[in-house]
Amino acid sequence: MSTAAAREACLVLADGSVFEGEAVGYLPPDGVAGGEVVFNTAMSGYQEIITDPSYAGQVITFTYPHIGNYGVNPEDDESVRPFCRGIVVRELARRRSNWRSNEDLEAFLVRHRVAGIAGIDTRRLTRILRDTGAMNGAFGTADESTLKAAALHERGTDGLDLVGEVTTAQPYTYGDGPWRIVAYDYGIKRTILRHLAKMATVTIVPGHTTAEEVMGYEPHGVFLSNGPGDPRVCAYAVREIEHLVGQVPIFGICLGHQLLATAMGGQTMKLPFGHHGGNHPVRHEATGRVFITSQNHNFAVVPGSVANADVTHINLNDGVIEGLAFRDVPAFSVQHHPEAGPGPHESAELFADFDALLRKVHVTVAAAGVH
């Protein structure tokens, strides 16, 4: 914790639950920060979690009790800045200890204007969220009644298109691999780009880019990234994906998985409290292998809603669809995060599967003499 004098604060949920604690990180001028409160069960990787754009509009509760002990460093940022609304922790470390670290977590939060609250009973908070689902909340140094009113006025993430908040403003290129891949940035993580760059020169484009513009890059494949918010309001993205399906091999992750499924006639739903953490067991249906996966999503594909696809992966905790392979077109997607960042790397072979799909499609085309 900071050596400065403690700043009393509290967290108030929309159901009236109150948690007393201490303000850390950035202090909003009006003493109020808020958003949709979710919990993450990862034991490490707090910097990658905080900088994951998929948390736009949300307040992250860390279930692991000790956060900040190894500091932060620029190499572990997953985006240009945090997009989350704040963090909730049991204990913020008083000092950092890691040879890679060049800044304290609290200084990082202040620099990026991210509010936080520490000293919270995160076990009690997590139990409430597990019983009632992700809930809007507000926290800070303002009085309890002000925070309760702010919590009730929060919109959450239902029905919100948050992609516009996190997507790149202009196209840019990453890597120099042999394939040409266009990656839609719905909130893409840098670790994903590092994986794609091993096999391709990646052109990252804004989330509203048209299919015609994408095909103008003459890509060998298209990648649909992770991102925040409700896929049901991203009709502009679904429309362009519909035009791309069948023209070029497609690989989608997280929000990209949901948008691809929607473009293929599927439906999505909001989960009670989402999947956020690095310990979710996922079974690969074809082999029966179980992977421990990294996850961060509040929405999922409705079972049985995609008629022309095979379910490739299932979440063993609750049966959520974790992967789809489409029968008539070269496209597949997964709900979990094979790039990790943070989390286990057991599913990283899915990037090799994308490489194999590109080879299969383009070798077949070349052999047929099609240009």
Domains of the chain: 8-153 (3.50.30.20), 163-367 (3.40.50.880)
Read off the tokens for 293.
Answer: 């996966």
Segment 278-292, tens digit of pLDDT: 999 999 999 999 999
Whether pLDDT at 371 is above 90: no
What's residue 366's pLDDT? 53
Residue 341's alpha-carbon distances to 34, 59, 190, 306, in angstroms, are 25, 19, 9, 29
SS3 call for 136: strand
Whether 154 and 137 have beta carbons less than 8 Å apart is answered as: yes
What's residue 369's pLDDT? 52
What's residue 86's pLDDT? 98
d(C-alpha 60, C-alpha 69), whole Å: 17
Segment 246-302, tens digit of pLDDT: 999 999 999 999 999 999 999 999 999 999 999 999 999 999 999 999 999 999 999
> Diameter of the chain by CA atoms?
73
Whether pLDDT at 161 is above 80: yes
Taking all residues of the chain, what is their mean pLDDT, rounded to a whole number? Answer: 95
What's residue 156's pLDDT? 87
Segment 105-150, tens digit of pLDDT: 999 999 999 999 999 999 999 999 999 999 999 999 999 999 999 9
Mean pLDDT on 318-331: 97
Read off the tokens for 363.
Answer: 């070798």
Whether 92 and 1 have beta carbons less than 8 Å apart is answered as: yes
Catalytic residue numbers read 254, 337, 339
d(C-alpha 187, C-alpha 207), whole Å: 8
Long-range contacts of 359-364 (CB under 8 A, 24+ apart): 360/330, 361/249, 361/330, 362/220
Mean pLDDT on 19-42: 97
Confidence of residue 3 (pLDDT cuts 50, 70, 90): very low
Whether pLDDT at 367 is above 60: no
CA dihedral 225, 185, 156, 278 (to 10 degrees): 40
Phi and psi at residue 166, to the nearest 5°: -115, -15
What's residue 2's pLDDT? 45
Neighbours of 364 (CB within 10 A): 11
Question: DSSP string covering 291-325, please?
Answer: EEEEEEEEEEEPTT--TTEEEEEEETTT--EEEEE
